[in-house]
Homo-oligomer: A and B are copies of this chain.
Amino acid sequence: MKSYRKELFYEIPTRRAFVNITEDVEVCLRESGIREGLCLVNAMHITASVFINDDESGLHHDYEVWLERLAPHEPVSQYRHNGFEDNADAHMKRQVMGREVVVAVTEGRLDFGTWERIFYGEFDGRRRKRVLVKIIGE
């Protein structure tokens, strides 16, 4: 069994954004030399997500509006977590969108459906944050 590990770094200039990181993960997979196995991609921060969905700007706008409705950022005083911080809503949005994805690796490629793309979902940005890629297989 082979294993491969890499950290990817993202510094988002806004509080919230969705970034297509599929190509960065594909570079990792090529570096790994793994042809058959599983690829884990996870946010290393608890106010961010890694998820798979569509690379369509209208949808990303809809996600932003929807997540703000489910877990509004303001008023920040509505959350006990917000003593010294103001990011409680980010911890909730991240649970809806998820921490991680596990993607099959088949014949050296991410084994995706037609429209599947990997996104980094930032909910408390404006600082450098990390995504972990771990691939195991042969």
Q: Could you list which residues of chain A lie within 8 angstroms of chain B, going by C-beta atoms?
A: 1, 3, 5, 36-38, 40, 42-46, 51-54, 56-59, 61-63, 66, 70-71, 79-83, 88, 91-92, 94-104, 106, 111-116, 130, 132, 134, 136-138
Contacts and interface: CB of A to CB of B under 8 A. Distances in A.
Contact of A116 (B3, B44, B114): B44
Nearest to A45: B113
A33 to B, nearest CB: 14
Contacts of A45: 113-115
B61 A80 contact: yes
A2 to B, nearest CB: 9
Contact of A59 (B71, B81, B137): B81
